């Protein structure tokens, strides 16, 4: 079946030579034949495969350019020779070839040229010219929708009311209406006369005067309003006797028409019988226009019915206002034209019919589209009695919104459940388009409308192309395809709706579209059903997109399937640069090259391209292994690298081939390429082929039947994973024949519905004893070397250790599950030798979860027999978590094939939870460090000790702690310190305790007293607290000992050790003390000190004077020494400077009392 472009101008889209690009599918990319036209760019606008007497032809339509005659060609598919079909060029037919449709069952086809013009006086009519070809190309010519030019004469009299019941303006509106009608119909065969009536009738102008003057304004310029009673029947009789006469210009061969315009009921009803009878005898058509509101009574309605021709409903028009008189002209015009042309009302409807715009042939009935009928509303022409009788079918008269809808633009026959239906497209209906479904009763020849299917997008040309599809070959339509080639969405140009038939109704459920990125492709401009191309038993579809890829064009192949059409195209064929409008027409139901495969004929600009189907192959693949598993001795080793010299296993790869297209007559021999791969997607190599690689690719020459090839595999070294089977995959493809030439047989392809990749596995032999079943005996316990308690603090960690062992046979897929509180964050696991891989299992709602699970793969794939391992888990402690008094953990271990030893597969642990605190106590600088007392004086001195208790971490609050302060109040029997209480800042209650003080004996020993006061203060939720001990210190009596004393107070910090633990163990920070040094002073006797000092000084002076006299300090002769020095200077001029220097040095060394001693 054949397709159509989306508009009448589409027959200008034609093609040129080119090659084709395609996705891999079963349409050969190299054309079998390219048929060149006669130089016309329109050659190929329509194509049709036609078989007669075992000979197949390509029928090609080539509509003419401008006024040139279109032609129909008969072409040979192999050598491409064409000739014009004899007789089709006898009559100039510009658009011949625009429509080309076949009836394969009856070996006949029809070629039409719609829009053939012929003149009718001043009007141009459009009809169609079609040639119906039967066996032997016997031709029958028909002219569908042809309307003969039959123009008749009409004599029309205006009989208008001039009674006194209407105003002057109302009367003028009547004369204006008559002027408008005469103006609009001036160039027709209608002539006019006018008579005004009231109580009498008066001729305003006759037919003769109209022929002389012709100007309606001059004819009516002197009309005077009569203003009297309404004698309508009397006026009717007046017109019969005085106006429709030869003397006044009435023509004997003209049809007589009278338009009566009145505003009320006739006052002379008694005269009606004679006047009406006389009018009927003369064959006068009488149309009544009633104006105003005076026609509500039954007598008024009866009066109008008597005046009008039969039936009154078609000849009476009542208007409630004089202003609406101008609106009835179109109705009056149509009625006049129907009288003027023929004796029935169909002549004006078919003037522009353009019959043959589309066609649907069947053994039962032939139907053509007439898009121009009813003012381009369109319709269908039913041909009967050997194409001699036409019956026009339309819905225009029933629907006012069909104007310019182009019903009949496309047409397809639908057979469904012994019914014959026709789908007719109206792509311009209300600008969105629609498809109307007609049901035809072949016995009664009655047509009824079953359904309207509406488009959705304005301007999409929905319904411009239709295609009925019999998917399963049962001679019933399963799917109706409706094209909207001008649909635009998401860079797509055009779409095809897939509609299924159910319960006599059509339901559209999916759409087909082309490649994204071609917004002006006009996808769906041509649609054709194809024979089953892929051998799945369902009819396939070809859809053209002639403007795709800068107007190079493309053809899409869609495969049919049960219940519809696959929405993804299987193949896209497009042209290289230089090709244009490829895919503007399609047909593909026959074998054109003798190989019994369906071939496709594609129309393009100036050429027709024949594409062949490729034979389809089913190639099944099977693999067998020997031995069926990899033996233990081949892969089990101690870890040393070894190269296996002998193959571990052999793979036998077999291919079994057969044709899906069983009717194909060609020879089955082809090159099959296979790719065999071991352990695909694994990073580490376990097995290889003889070439040392995991992949081997080869090509075999395959023929029908079974072909096998062996391959050996090797294990190059020791492997770690010998649980996961070796995955083997094989992929096959056909090697394209690059040397194929035009005319040679197309190369086969693999069935796209068949697998081209197969998978299998080679398992490893298991070390599980003679029974082949591994029975593991797993045991797990918490090790005592792990942390004994959980300390909650900043950056804290928890180390948990597990002992895991396997006392049975090899354990496969061993998994350890550890359940731990949500306040812990898993960091890592450490283990010696054994490989462990852990991951926290995801929780559905982590905000509500109180615990988490850690899953660990232990020594995957195998946790060997008699293996013990220690796992050390490190967790981070989340400080912002809520903890109880204890931390609970549970663990379990499992593996494949362990059934009887599960009691020791679980373990649990409970350890205390403690919060680390960093509370510190220290003395403050303001404390009294020294104090003294003078013995004998009654002195009282204030002594103060101040402490501070705080948290080291900023912004931290003190937990609930107890602060104990020991204060000594008596140190000797004489020294007292009067302390009554301890104060805290901020204020806290501190109280003196009288309980047993044995736990503070050491403070008593430090102060050498047993008189000690102990105070306790409770502190919590504070950042810092200061404690002050202040009292008066005094000596009660003279002390027996004057030795200095050190007075010490001590502060202890106590807390709940079952809940908290100090970050600073020992007493350095939880204990603080302050020492005050006390000195006792005795007053001194100053008289004795002064007397003793004076005597001692005098004795010392006398001793010094005696010594000086003894050494001659007071006897030195300084004067003589100075004289001797002068004489020595005079004699020194005779001596060298060296001697002088030496002498001076010697003299300097002599003592000052030298002369005295010499004497």
pTM score, whole prediction: 0.57
Q: End of a domain among 611, 626, 654?
A: 611
Share of the chain above pLDDT 70, in %: 85
Residues 87 and 175 in one domain: no
Q: End of a domain among 917, 933, 950?
A: 917
Q: Is residue 134 part of a domain?
A: yes
Are 919 and 810 contacting, i.e. CB atoms less than 8 angstroms apart? no
> Residue 268 has what pLDDT?
83
> Residue 1136 has what pLDDT?
47
> Residue 15 has what pLDDT?
33
Is residue 282 scored above 70 in pLDDT?
yes
Least confident range of 108-112, 459-463, 692-696, 1003-1007: 1003-1007
Per-range mean pLDDT, top range of 23-37, 75-89, 486-500, 868-882: 486-500
Q: End of a domain among 611, 643, 678?
A: 611
Residues 447 and 474 in one domain: yes
Angle at 79 between CA 76 and CA 82, to 5 degrees: 45
pLDDT tens readout for residues 23-56: 447 888 788 888 988 778 889 999 999 988 788 9
CA distance 676 to 695: 6
pLDDT tens readout for residues 806-842: 988 888 888 999 999 988 999 999 987 778 889 988 8
Residues 52 and 123 in one domain: yes
CA distance 933 to 1034: 8
Is residue 961 scored above 90 in pLDDT?
no
Residues 1042 and 1071 in one domain: yes
Residues 891 and 987 in one domain: no
- CATH number, domain containing residue 998: 2.60.40.1530
> Residue 20 has what pLDDT?
39
pLDDT tier for residue 997 given thresholds of 50, 70 and 90 = low
- CATH number, domain containing residue 330: 3.40.50.410
pLDDT tens readout for residues 437-460: 998 887 777 888 999 999 999 999
- Among candidate residues 299, 288, 270, 376, the one with its CA nearest the CA of residue 332: 288
pLDDT tens readout for residues 117-155: 887 766 788 889 999 998 878 889 998 988 777 567 889
Cβ-proximal residues to 395 (8 Å cutoff; 6+ apart), any chain: 379, 402, 407, 436, 449
Residues 115 and 88 in one domain: yes
The average pLDDT across 701-718 equals 86
Per-range mean pLDDT, top range of 122-126, 543-547, 656-660: 543-547
Residues 605 and 556 in one domain: yes
Least confident range of 48-57, 305-314, 698-707, 995-1004: 995-1004
Q: Average per-residue pLDDT in the chain?
A: 83
Q: Is residue 1088 part of a domain?
A: no
Domain count, the chain: 6
Residues 869 and 902 in one domain: yes
Is residue 902 scored above 90 in pLDDT?
no
Residues 100 and 33 in one domain: yes
Q: Is residue 1089 part of a domain?
A: no
Are 501 and 419 contacting, i.e. CB atoms less than 8 angstroms apart? no
CA distance 911 to 913: 7
Which phi and psi (to 5°) does residue 514 adopt?
-95, -160
Q: Is residue 367 part of a domain?
A: yes
- CATH number, domain containing residue 382: 2.130.10.130
Q: CB burial class (10 A; 0-12, 13-18, 19+) of residue 913?
A: middle
Cβ-proximal residues to 172 (8 Å cutoff; 6+ apart), any chain: none
pLDDT tier for residue 195 given thresholds of 50, 70 and 90 = very high
pLDDT tier for residue 716 given thresholds of 50, 70 and 90 = confident
Are 902 and 809 contacting, i.e. CB atoms less than 8 angstroms apart? no
Residues 295 and 425 in one domain: no
The tokens for 234 are 């009397």
- Among candidate residues 325, 346, 324, 326, the one with its CA nearest the CA of residue 337: 346
Least confident range of 336-350, 604-618, 1089-1103: 336-350
- CATH number, domain containing residue 654: 2.60.40.1460
The tokens for 577 are 């640069």
Q: Is residue 415 part of a domain?
A: yes
110, containing H or E segment: strand 108-120
Q: Is residue 821 part of a domain?
A: yes
Per-range mean pLDDT, top range of 456-465, 566-575, 754-763: 456-465
> Residue 468 has what pLDDT?
95
The tokens for 152 are 């008749």
Q: CB burial class (10 A; 0-12, 13-18, 19+) of residue 80?
A: middle
> Residue 1150 has what pLDDT?
44
The average pLDDT across 882-906 equals 85
State the alpha helices, DSSP H only, in 503-619. 548-551
> Residue 665 has what pLDDT?
66
> Residue 998 has what pLDDT?
61
Q: Is residue 1046 part of a domain?
A: yes
Is residue 354 scored above 60 in pLDDT?
yes
> Residue 271 has what pLDDT?
59
> Residue 28 has what pLDDT?
85
> Residue 38 has what pLDDT?
73
Helix, strand, coil fractions of the chain, as percent rounded to 5: 15, 40, 40
pLDDT tier for residue 4 given thresholds of 50, 70 and 90 = very low
Is residue 3 scored above 80 in pLDDT?
no
Rounded CA Rg of the chain:
62
When comparing pLDDT for 202 and 633, which is higher? 202
Is residue 908 scored above 50 in pLDDT?
yes
Q: Is residue 1099 part of a domain?
A: no
Residues 652 and 585 in one domain: no
Residues 937 and 964 in one domain: yes
What phi-psi label fits residue 562: left (phi over 0), alpha (psi between -120 and 50 degrees) or beta?
beta
| Domain enclosing residue 505, as ranges | 8-146+347-611
The tokens for 851 are 């615990």
């Amino acid at each position: 079946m054949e397709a159509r472009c989306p508009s009448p101008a589409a027959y200008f889209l034609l093609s040129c030579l080119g090659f084709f690009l395609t996705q891999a599918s079963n349409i050969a990319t190299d054309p079998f034949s390219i048929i060149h036209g006669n130089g016309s760019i329109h050659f190929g606008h329509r194509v049709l495969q036609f078989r007669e007497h075992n000979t197949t032809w390509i029928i090609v339509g080539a509509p003419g350019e401008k006024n040139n005659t279109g032609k129909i060609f008969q072409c040979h598919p192999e050598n491409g020779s064409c000739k014009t079909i004899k007789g089709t060029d006898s009559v100039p037919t510009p658009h011949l070839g625009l429509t080309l449709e076949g009836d394969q069952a009856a070996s006949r086809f029809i070629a039409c040229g719609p829009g053939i013009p012929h003149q009718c006086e001043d009007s141009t009519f459009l009809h169609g010219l079609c040639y119906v070809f039967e066996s032997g190309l016997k031709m029958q010519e028909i002219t569908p929708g042809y309307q003969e030019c039959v123009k008749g004469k009409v004599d029309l009299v205006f009989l208008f009311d001039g009674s006194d019941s209407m105003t002057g303006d109302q009367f003028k509106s009547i004369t204006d209406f008559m002027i408008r009608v005469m103006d609009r119909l001036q160039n027709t065969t209608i002539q006019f006369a006018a008579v005004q009536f009231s109580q009498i009738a008066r001729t305003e102008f006759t037919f003769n005067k109209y022929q002389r003057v012709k100007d309606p304004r001059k004819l009516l310029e002197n009309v005077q309003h009569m203003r009297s009673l309404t004698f309508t029947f009397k006026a009717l009789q007046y017109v019969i006797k005085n106006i429709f006469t030869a003397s006044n210009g009435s023509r004997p061969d003209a049809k007589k028409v009278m338009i009566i315009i009145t505003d009320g009921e006739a006052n002379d009803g008694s005269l009606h019988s004679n006047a009406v009878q006389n009018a009927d005898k003369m064959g006068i058509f009488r149309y009544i226009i009633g104006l105003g509101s005076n026609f509500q009574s039954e007598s008024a309605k009866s009066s109008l019915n008597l005046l009008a021709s039969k039936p009154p409903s078609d000849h009476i028009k009542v208007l409630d206002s004089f202003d609406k008189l101008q609106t009835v002209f179109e109705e009056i015009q149509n009625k006049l034209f129907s009288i003027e042309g023929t004796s029935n009302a169909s002549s004006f409807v078919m003037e522009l019919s353009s019959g043959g715009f589309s066609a649907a042939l069947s053994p039962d009935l032939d139907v053509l589209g007439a898009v121009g009928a009813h003012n381009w509303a369109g319709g269908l022409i039913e041909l009967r009695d050997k194409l001699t009788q036409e019956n026009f079918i339309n819905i225009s008269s029933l629907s006012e919104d069909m104007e310019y809808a182009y019903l009949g633009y496309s047409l397809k026959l639908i057979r469904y459940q012994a019914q014959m239906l026709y789908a007719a497209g109206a792509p311009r209906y209300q600008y969105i388009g629609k498809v109307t479904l007609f049901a035809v009763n072949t016995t009664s020849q009655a047509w009824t409308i079953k359904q309207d299917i509406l488009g959705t997008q304005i301007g999409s040309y929905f319904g411009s192309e239709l295609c009925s599809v019999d998917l399963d070959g049962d001679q019933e339509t399963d799917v109706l395809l409706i094209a909207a080639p001008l649909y635009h969405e998401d860079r797509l140009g055009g779409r095809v709706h897939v509609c299924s038939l159910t319960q006599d109704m059509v339901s559209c459920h999916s759409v087909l579209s082309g490649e994204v990125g071609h917004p002006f492709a006009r996808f769906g401009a041509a649609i054709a059903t194809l024979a089953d191309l892929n051998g799945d038993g369902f009819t396939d579809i070809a859809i053209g997109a002639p403007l795709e890829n800068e107007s190079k064009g493309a053809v899409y192949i869609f495969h049919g399937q049960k219940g519809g059409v696959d929405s993804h195209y299987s193949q896209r064929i497009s042209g290289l640069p230089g090709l244009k409008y490829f895919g503007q027409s399609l047909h593909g139901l026959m074998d054109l090259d003798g190989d019994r495969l369906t071939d496709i004929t594609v129309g393009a600009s100036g050429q027709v391209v024949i594409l062949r189907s490729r034979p389809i192959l089913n190639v099944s693949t099977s693999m067998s292994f020997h031995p069926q598993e990899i033996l233990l001795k081949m892969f089990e080793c101690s870890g040393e690298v070894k190269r296996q010299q002998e193959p571990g296993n052999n793979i036998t790869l077999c291919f079994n081939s057969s044709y899906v297209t069983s009717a194909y007559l060609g020879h089955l021999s082809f090159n099959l390429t296979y790719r065999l791969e071991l352990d695909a997607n694994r990073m580490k190599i376990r097995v290889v082929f003889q070439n040392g690689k995991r992949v081997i690719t080869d090509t075999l020459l395959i023929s029908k039947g079974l072909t096998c090839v062996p391959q050996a595999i090797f294990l190059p070294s020791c492997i770690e994973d010998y649980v996961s089977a070796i995955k083997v995959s094989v992929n096959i493809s056909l090697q394209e024949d690059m040397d194929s030439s035009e005319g040679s047989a197309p190369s086969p392809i693999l069935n796209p519905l068949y697998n081209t990749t197969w998978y299998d596995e080679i398992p490893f032999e298991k070390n599980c004893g003679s029974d082949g079943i591994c029975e593991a005996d797993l045991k797990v316990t918490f090790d005592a070397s792990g942390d004994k308690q959980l300390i909650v603090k900043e950056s804290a960690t928890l180390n948990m250790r597990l002992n895991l062992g396997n006392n049975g046979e090899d354990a496969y897929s061993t998994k350890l599950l550890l359940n731990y509180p949500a306040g812990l964050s898993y960091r890592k696991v450490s283990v010696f030798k054994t490989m462990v891989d852990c991951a926290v299992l995801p929780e559905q709602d982590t905000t509500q979860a109180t615990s988490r699970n850690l899953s660990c793969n232990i020594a995957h794939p195998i946790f060997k027999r008699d293996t013990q391992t220690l796992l050390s888990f490190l967790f981070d402690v989340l400080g912002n978590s809520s903890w109880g008094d204890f931390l609970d953990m549970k663990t379990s271990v499992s593996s494949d094939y362990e059934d009887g030893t599960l009691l020791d597969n679980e373990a649990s642990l409970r350890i205390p939870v403690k919060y680390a605190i960093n509370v510190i106590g220290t003395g403050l600088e303001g404390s009294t460090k020294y104090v003294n007392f003078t013995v004998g004086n009654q002195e009282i001195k204030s002594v103060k000790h101040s402490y501070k208790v705080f948290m080291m971490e900023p912004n931290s609050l003190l937990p609930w702690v107890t602060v104990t302060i020991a204060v000594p109040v008596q140190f000797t029997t004489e020294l007292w310190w009067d302390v009554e209480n301890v104060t805290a800042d901020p204020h806290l209650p501190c109280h003196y305790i009288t309980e047993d003080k044995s736990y503070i004996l050491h403070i008593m020993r430090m102060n050498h007293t047993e008189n000690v006061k102990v105070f306790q203060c409770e502190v919590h939720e504070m950042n810092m607290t200061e404690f002050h001990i202040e009292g008066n210190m005094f000596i009660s009596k003279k002390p027996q000992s004057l030795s200095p004393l050190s007075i010490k107070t001590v502060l202890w910090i106590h807390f709940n050790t079952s809940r908290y633990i100090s970050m600073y163990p020992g007493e350095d920070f939880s204990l603080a003390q302050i020492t005050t040094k006390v000195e006792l002073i005795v007053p001194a006797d100053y008289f004795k000190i002064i007397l003793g000092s004076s005597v001692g000084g005098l004795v010392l002076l006398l001793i010094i004077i005696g010594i000086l006299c003894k050494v001659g300090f007071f006897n030195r002769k300084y004067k003589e020494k100075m004289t001797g020095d002068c004489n020595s200077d005079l004699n020194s001029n005779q001596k060298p400077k060296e001697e002088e220097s030496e002498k001076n040095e010697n003299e300097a060394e002599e003592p000052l009392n030298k002369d005295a001693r010499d004497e």
